[in-house]
Amino acid sequence: MSAVLAASCVPVHITDRRVSGLLVIEWDDGAISSLRHGDLRQRCRCAACTQRQRSGQLPDPPAALSAIRPVADKGLNLVFADGHERGIYPWTYLRELGDESA
Ligand SMILES: [Zn+2]
């Protein structure tokens, strides 16, 4: 966790590679996070998904990204092909997910 806090959470470039199903974020410290759409869907932290996980249910099936909406300078609101659009992904969380899968 402390390593994540020390890492940059300022994105300089965001690319949605739809064909390979990857959201690629380049950070201002030069690191690059390649996040799979399906993983992002399953790691959604909105109230409904958090509730689901707390009650021991399996996460929703993976889904591709269909839209990316910036949330001020805080992060991204990701919209998925299954219609789920409530997930807010702060930059710190996206960086954490990227470092985890690196
Ligand atoms: Zn959700």
Ion ligand 1, residue ranges at CB < 5 A = 44, 46, 49, 87
Q: pLDDT for 76-92, tens place per residue?
A: 999 999 999 999 999 99
Q: pLDDT for 8-18, tens place per residue?
A: 889 999 999 99
Radius of gyration of the chain (CA): 13
Residue 2 has pLDDT above 60, yes or no: no
Domain span including residue 83:
2-101
CATH of residue 39's domain is 3.30.2020.30
Q: How far is the CA of 46 from the centre of ligand 1 (A)?
A: 4
| Integer Cα distance of 59 and 74 in angstroms | 25
Structure confidence at residue 1 as a pLDDT band (50, 70, 90)? very low
Kind plus residue range of the DSSP H or E element containing 36: strand 32-36
Q: How far is the CA of 3 from the centre of ligand 1 (A)?
A: 26
Q: List % helix, strand, coil for the chain (3-state, nearest 5).
A: 30, 35, 35
Q: pLDDT for 20-61, tens place per residue?
A: 999 999 999 999 999 999 999 999 999 999 999 999 999 899
What's the confidence (pLDDT) of residue 5? 53
Q: Are 43 and 96 in contact (CB under 8 A)?
A: no
**CB atoms inside a 10 Å sphere around CB 23:** 24
The total number of structural domains in the chain stands at 1
Q: What is the longest distance spanned by two Cα atoms in the chain?
A: 38
